[in-house]
């Protein structure tokens, strides 16, 4: 009990002068107003404009990929990235149950089924060992294409998620996926600026996806992006998400059932100003993480830190409590004291909507679900 009271005081001391302390609030200290007013002055506030182009260039640079496409949100980016990776109606996609619902919804939008596999305890993201164990039991290569022997369905993608900005064990995951010819698509919605072996997340898979929602580390109000090293695929992503219109001076001809998933220029302006500050935001959050770590060490609560070979952006920071009872206690006392804390997501298959899909034992996911709590993680001013 007094541990938690001390924690409340400590968190308040990190975010002084705030009565209610949110989990994550955006910070607008850069060129946000300049760029947004500029789009208004230009009248190009909607689906085309200079900031959309600038944003796409910035994102490709930042993720060290060959092409980036600006989208209306991260969920639509996942939808299209899976489709472009080859996911079709009736297929299966390997993913984690310990994730935000959008990861799984995007699989369903493509008419495919999720297969829920366990996470690693250190990264809280999809476990390469779990993927390997599943494929050894159920996988079968037929003419180089991976099928699930139990369901007879094609396994057409693997979709790991970098939980709270902590990168998954990418080398091992890539090795398993390559062995079974399964394309990797990264849900990097939470991990912009995070690195695995000095390389940014999002650029490891066939395609990677980011979100710029208001609660993320940098925001465009609402927004998303697809990145890829395959330029052809990137061009296709742009085409599909801009109604699949064939370029022409005035005729309306569309060569596919595309989507209107473009990021408006107004939002791209905000995103550009925010991206300019990403490195300083990450440094600021890493400093906060250090302060949290020494504080929580001193009182014997486990603060979660990045694993070997990775650099996390520390989007949402978290502690791991001893058990569910301690977790519930921590949640209640902090929230009662106007400090926002949240449990990690409920495992997706616990919803009746998703309970029928194949899954493994989920030992680590269940362990983490009962213990992990997010704590206030905004950039300190
Ligand atoms: C935020 C988030 C998304 C979706 O992003 P939106 O921009 O809100 O649609 C997808 N996956 C994960 C893991 C997220 O955290």
Confidence of residue 48 (pLDDT cuts 50, 70, 90): confident
User: Which ligand 1 atom is the nearest neighbour of the CA of 99?
Assistant: 13
Q: Is the CB of 102 under 6 A from ligand 1?
A: yes
pLDDT digits (tens, 9 = 90+) for 318-357: 999 999 999 999 999 999 999 999 999 999 999 999 999 9
If you measure from the C-alpha of residue 71 to the centroid of ligand 1, how many angstroms do you get, rounded to a whole number?
A: 12
Q: Whose CA is nearest to atom 10 of ligand 1?
A: 102
| pLDDT value for 1 | 61
Confidence of residue 5 (pLDDT cuts 50, 70, 90): confident
| Mean pLDDT to the nearest integer, 234-244 | 97
Residue 193, CA atoms < 13 Å, CB-side half-sphere? 22
Instruction: Give the β-pairing of 207-211 and 185-187.
Output: parallel
User: Would you say residue 127 has pLDDT above 90?
Assistant: yes
If you measure from the C-alpha of residue 188 to the centroid of ligand 1, how many angstroms do you get, rounded to a whole number?
A: 9
Q: Is the CB of 100 under 6 A from ligand 1?
A: yes
Q: Is the CB of 370 under 6 A from ligand 1?
A: no
| % pLDDT > 70, the chain | 100
Q: Is the CB of 99 under 6 A from ligand 1?
A: yes
If you measure from the C-alpha of residue 95 to the centroid of ligand 1, how many angstroms do you get, rounded to a whole number?
A: 15
| Mean pLDDT to the nearest integer, 290-303 | 97
Quote the pTM value: 0.97
In 3-state terms the chain splits into helix, strand, coil percentages (rounded to 5) of: 40, 20, 40
Contact 88, 110 (CB under 8 A): yes
Residue 300 CA to residue 117 CA, distance in Å, equals 31
Q: Whose CA is nearest to atom 5 of ligand 1?
A: 74
Contact 68, 225 (CB under 8 A): yes
Instruction: Give the β-pairing of 92-96 and 153-159.
Output: parallel
Please tell me whether residue 247 adopts helix, strand or coil conformation: coil
Mutate to test the pocket of ligand 1, among 70, 99, 100, 119 (most ligand atoms within 8 A of CB): 100
Residue 301 CA to residue 10 CA, distance in Å, equals 13
Contact 184, 208 (CB under 8 A): no
Contact 105, 96 (CB under 8 A): no
User: Would you say residue 28 has pLDDT above 70?
Assistant: yes
pLDDT digits (tens, 9 = 90+) for 152-200: 999 999 999 999 999 999 999 999 999 999 999 999 999 999 999 999 9
Torsion of CA 341, 189, 265, 33, to 10 degrees: 40
User: Which ligand 1 atom is the nearest neighbour of the CA of 76?
Assistant: 9
Q: Is the CB of 163 under 6 A from ligand 1?
A: no
| % pLDDT > 90, the chain | 97
Q: What are the structural domains, with CATH classification, of the chain?
A: 2-28+278-375 (3.90.1150.10), 32-275 (3.40.640.10)
If you measure from the C-alpha of residue 46 to the centroid of ligand 1, how many angstroms do you get, rounded to a whole number?
A: 22
| pLDDT value for 304 | 98
Beta-sheet strands, E only, within the chain: 67-71, 92-96, 113-117, 139-142, 145-148, 153-159, 185-187, 195-196, 199-200, 207-211, 224-228, 302-303, 310-311, 317-320, 342-343, 372-375
| Integer angstrom CA distances of residue 301 from 77, 147, 164, 292, 365 | 37, 44, 19, 10, 20
pLDDT digits (tens, 9 = 90+) for 266-289: 999 999 999 999 999 999 999 999
Residue 160 CA to residue 97 CA, distance in Å, equals 10
Residues 6+ apart with CB under 8 A from 85: 156, 157, 183, 185, 205, 206, 207
Residue 86 CA to residue 366 CA, distance in Å, equals 31
Confidence of residue 91 (pLDDT cuts 50, 70, 90): very high
If you measure from the C-alpha of residue 100 to the centroid of ligand 1, how many angstroms do you get, rounded to a whole number?
A: 7
| Mean pLDDT to the nearest integer, 246-250 | 94
| Mean pLDDT to the nearest integer, 140-161 | 98
Q: Is the CB of 224 under 6 A from ligand 1?
A: yes
Q: Is the CB of 7 under 6 A from ligand 1?
A: no
Mutate to test the pocket of ligand 1, among 160, 211, 217, 313 (most ligand atoms within 8 A of CB): 211
């Amino acid at each position: 009990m007094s541990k938690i009271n001390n924690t409340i005081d400590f968190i308040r001391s990190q975010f002084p002068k705030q009565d209610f302390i949110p989990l994550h609030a955006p910070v607008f200290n850069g060129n946000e107003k300049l760029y947004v007013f500029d789009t208004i002055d230009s009248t190009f506030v909607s689906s085309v404009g200079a900031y959309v182009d600038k944003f796409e260039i910035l994102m490709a640079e930042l993720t060290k990929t060959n092409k980036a496409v600006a989208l209306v949100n991260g969920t639509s980016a996942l939808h299209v990235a899976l489709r472009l990776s080859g996911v079709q109606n009736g297929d299966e996609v390997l993913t984690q149950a310990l994730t935000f619902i959008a990861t799984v919804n995007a699989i369903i939008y493509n008419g495919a089924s999720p297969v829920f596999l366990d996470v690693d305890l250190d990264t809280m993201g999809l476990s390469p060992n779990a993927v390997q164990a599943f494929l050894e039991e159920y996988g079968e290569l037929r003419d180089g294409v991976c099928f699930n022997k139990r369901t007879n369905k094609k396994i057409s993608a693997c979709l790991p998620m970098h939980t709270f900005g902590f990168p998954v064990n990418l080398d091992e995951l890539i090795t398993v996926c390559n062995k079974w010819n399964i394309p990797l698509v990264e849900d990097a919605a939470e991990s912009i600026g995070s690195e695995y072996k000095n390389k940014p997340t999002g650029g490891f898979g066939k395609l990677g996806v980011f979100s710029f929602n208001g609660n993320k580390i940098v925001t465009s109000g609402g927004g998303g992006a697809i990145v890829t090293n395959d330029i052809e695929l990137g061009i296709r992503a742009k085409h599909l998400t801009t109604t699949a219109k064939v370029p022409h001076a005035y005729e309306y001809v569309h060569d596919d059932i595309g989507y209107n998933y473009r990021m408006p220029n107004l939002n791209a302006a905000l995103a550009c100003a925010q991206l300019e500050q990403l490195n300083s935001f990450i440094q600021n959050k890493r400093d906060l993480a250090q302060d949290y770590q020494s504080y929580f060490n001193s009182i014997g609560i486990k603060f979660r830190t990045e694993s070997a070979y990775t650099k996390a952006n520390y989007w949402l920071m978290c502690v791991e409590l001893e058990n569910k009872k301690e977790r519930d206690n921590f949640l209640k006392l902090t929230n009662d004291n106007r400090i926002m804390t949240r449990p990690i997501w409920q495992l997706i298959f616990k919803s009746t909507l998703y309970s029928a899909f194949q899954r493994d034992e989920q030992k680590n996911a269940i362990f983490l679900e009962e213990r992990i709590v997010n704590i206030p993680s905004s950039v300190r001013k």
